[in-house]
Chains A and B, each alone.
Chain A
Amino acid sequence: MGEALVLGLVSGPACIAACGPVLVPSLLTERAGLGAHARYLAAFLAARLMGYLVFAVVAWELGALVSLLRAPRMPLVGAVYVLLAGVLLWYAWAARRRCARACAGQALVQISENNIETKQAGGLAGAAALGLLTGLNLCPPFVAAGIRAAELGSLGAALLFFAAFFVGTSVWFFPFAGLSCVARSEAVTTVARMAMALIAVWYLAMGIAMLLGRRVYGY
């Protein structure tokens, strides 16, 4: 348990770097306020834990070598990328809303006069979908944890290992709730939606390339 916790703590920056393209823009499209962002993060992290535990079962049942080999890994990562792209595009579309308060971004651009919130962003379902998919995404710290979990004697131990690893990495995610300070102008929401669409296109291209078995840098 201690080893898993420390592994999670030290590899946390790599985890937030890997999840950043999904987490940051989706948080920025959320309703402003610390409470809303905390709820989003809770849903995201809970679903991410579920992803971790599912992977722990697979790693333990099949053995780390099978689940982490390049050939079977490519279609899995490809499928996760395509699904992530789909959810991000849906999220970017669903996050059509206007300022809840006076737009702080008028030095950049003034988009609309009326500060009426018309539609909420992806909500908890969106957060959960993104959390689950990033939980299944095989980032380097996750692979390290997977190998260690597969060496353990029982499924229960593997699950506990991943749960402790999750707690260690999650500490690094809490500061993201601070994004609620900036996520209150229409300009920020629009930027986040555009960025989300761009990132989704990248995930889609990479995902399709992996599913087709094409060579992709880093994989």
Chain B
Amino acid sequence: MATEARAVRLGSAVRRGVGQSVLLTLPMVVWSLLMFFHPGAATDRNSVIAAGVTMAFMVALFFLMMRTGNTYRWRRVFFVALGLLFPVGFIYQAIHFRGSMGIPMEEMIAGRTPFCFMPIPMLILPAALTRTVVFPGSIVGVGGMSGAGIAAMVGLWLALTLVLGRGWCSYACFFGGIEEGMASAPKKATIRKIDPRWRLGPWAVLLAMVLLSLALFEPAYCEWLCPFKAVSEYLAARNTVGLLQNALFVVLFAGLVVVLPLLTKKRTQCSCFCPFGAFQSIFNKTSVFDVRIDKERCKPCVACQTACPTMSLSKESIARGETLLSCTKCGACVDACPRGAMNWHVKGTEAAANPERARLLFLYAAWALAVMFGGSILAQGIRTILHFVL
């Protein structure tokens, strides 16, 4: 309570003094030290510099969140950096270990594919019905180029998802940053009216890909529709179908991750296409955190709806005082609201009872994930750059 008493509330943002912000940032400093400099961490020069830079970056952003009261602005810096540095580290690793960005079919069959969280929803039905993992990565610890096995990845994802819900898509996903950067670039959206039915796109892609994966016993999304294959790894095309698949990856990346975000100022891939995002939305029901609208304070100016990069607010949902199921908890609406009506909320507590405390609780959980998961990816990207520069 003392913390909030000293804090100054401006709109929805709570601005704090330097000392108070430093104190609130200390737990994240300790967590970052554990993540980046734990016993057994690489000790070569490039790795140490990369870990130090990443730690400073993550801690500084958290401090700024505490100091300014803004969430979205600083989270976006991290998220865009994550989106840009992931391909740097990943492509280098692919070329270093495999000699190419292309995956030959025999490599996939041998289970030497780095595991990605995207096909998790498509693994469940085939695994339940046939005890078969249709993703071609190995289930044991040594599987995949990254060394992380499917079981470890699924376990990690599940634990974090139960707490954060679709917050995963704003604090951990290494794909969304590029389009968030693109969406932030223009001052105004060229396309402002988007048919609300496009919000159902991710569910349609999810349904289609789950059914096709089950029918083909192949990860259909990875083989046909993943836009991020264009900046990570592609199928080593040896026939017309392979060429078609790679062409689709490039077209989808160009359209959904570059052109449409520039035109709409929205994360179009995340909000209209990503099947993992749809699946992740379900866990917004289990997550203890959500964003609520204080209907007494709200004058429906729709600033929140305009600011939301994932189209997770509609006039109807604002009238109900809540976001849509697809909310990624990025904080854009909370920061944009001029009347402080958008608030972080812990389920089971009174709405708007203590929004800043709810924000702090959420941010500690979300940023801990960001440091652990995204931080390691950032460090790998920086290490790769250092490898070429130093």
What is the interface of chain A, defined by CB distance below 8 A to chain B? 13, 17-21, 24-25, 106-111, 187, 190-196, 198-199, 202, 205-206, 209, 212, 214-218
Contact = CB atoms under 8 A, between A and B. Distances in A.
B215 A20 contact: yes
A198 B200 contact: no
A13 B241 contact: no
Contacts of A198: 204-205, 208
Nearest to A23: B211
Contact of A195 (B105, B204, B241, B281): B204
Interface in B205-224: 205, 207-208, 211-212, 214-218, 220, 224
Given A17-B129, A218-B216, A191 B200 contact: yes
Given A191-B200, A191-B204, A214-B241, A107 B324 contact: yes
B240 A106 contact: no
A108 B211 contact: no
Given A18-B215, A109-B197, A191 B203 contact: yes
Main SS at interface, chain B: helix
A71 B205 CA distance: 32
Contacts of B212: 21, 199, 202
Contacts of B201: 194
Chain B interface size band reads 20 to 34
A190 B201 CA distance: 9
Contacts of B197: 109, 111, 190
Interface of B: 105, 126, 129-130, 196-197, 199-201, 203-205, 207-208, 211-212, 214-218, 220, 224, 239-241, 244, 281, 314, 316-317, 324-326
B314 A13 contact: no
Contact of B200 (A18, A25, A109, A212): A109
Shortest 7 CB-CB contacts between residues of A and residues of B: A194-B204, A195-B208, A195-B207, A21-B211, A198-B208, A195-B204, A214-B240
A130 B322 CA distance: 41
Contacts of A111: 196-197
B240 A215 contact: yes
11 contacts: A20-B214, A109-B324, A111-B197, A187-B200, A191-B203, A195-B208, A196-B208, A199-B212, A202-B224, A215-B239, A218-B216
A174 B201 CA distance: 28
Contact of B208 (A107, A199, A217): A199
A18 to B, nearest CB: 5
Contacts of A214: 239-241
A107 B312 CA distance: 10
A24 B199 contact: no
A209 B239 CA distance: 10
A25 B207 CA distance: 8
A109 B199 contact: yes
Contacts of B130: 13
A109 B314 contact: yes
Given A17-B129, A21-B211, A21-B215, A109 B196 contact: yes
A18 B126 CA distance: 12
B131 to A, nearest CB: 11
Contacts of A190: 197, 200, 204
B129 A192 contact: no
A217 B215 CA distance: 13
Contacts of B203: 108, 187, 191, 194
Contacts of A202: 208, 212, 220, 224
B100 to A, nearest CB: 19
Given A108-B203, A109-B314, A190-B197, A20 B211 contact: yes
A24 B216 contact: no
B325 to A, nearest CB: 5
